[in-house]
Amino acid sequence: MTLTLVRCPYCVLGVQFRPMVPHLDGRFICDKCGHLALPRDANFRCSCQKCVELQSSRIHSVSPVLKIKTVAS
């Protein structure tokens, strides 16, 4: 049996991302922010506050193509 180490993409501990706490059902939970990971399920989406904010910012952001400014010669 190999131990899987999953790290929270939001929280830092020292100079690395914080390890998440493994649970028997295969979930990993960050004990600081509540981020949830389920490595066995590629379709799983976390609903912690930080993930919701990130998803919301992606929905409401302007396309990078529209942000390009041209310089008149």
pLDDT tens across 9-67, in order? 999 999 999 999 999 999 999 999 999 999 999 999 999 999 988 888 776 555 555 55
Is 1 inside a domain boundary? no
Is 59 inside a domain boundary? yes
**Distance set, CA 2 to CA 5, 23, 37, 62, 68 (Å):** 10, 14, 18, 43, 48
**What's the domain count of the chain?**
1
pLDDT of residue 73: 47
pLDDT of residue 65: 56
Q: pLDDT by residue (tens digit) across 24-36?
A: 999 999 999 999 9
pLDDT of residue 20: 96
Q: SS3 sequence, 8-61?
A: EEEEEECCEEEECEECCCCCEECCCCCCEECCCCCCCCCCCHHHHHHHHHHHHC
Is 46 inside a domain boundary? yes
Is 29 inside a domain boundary? yes
pTM of the model: 0.70
- Host domain of residue 57: 7-67
- Token duo for residue 66: 């529209």
Is 47 inside a domain boundary? yes
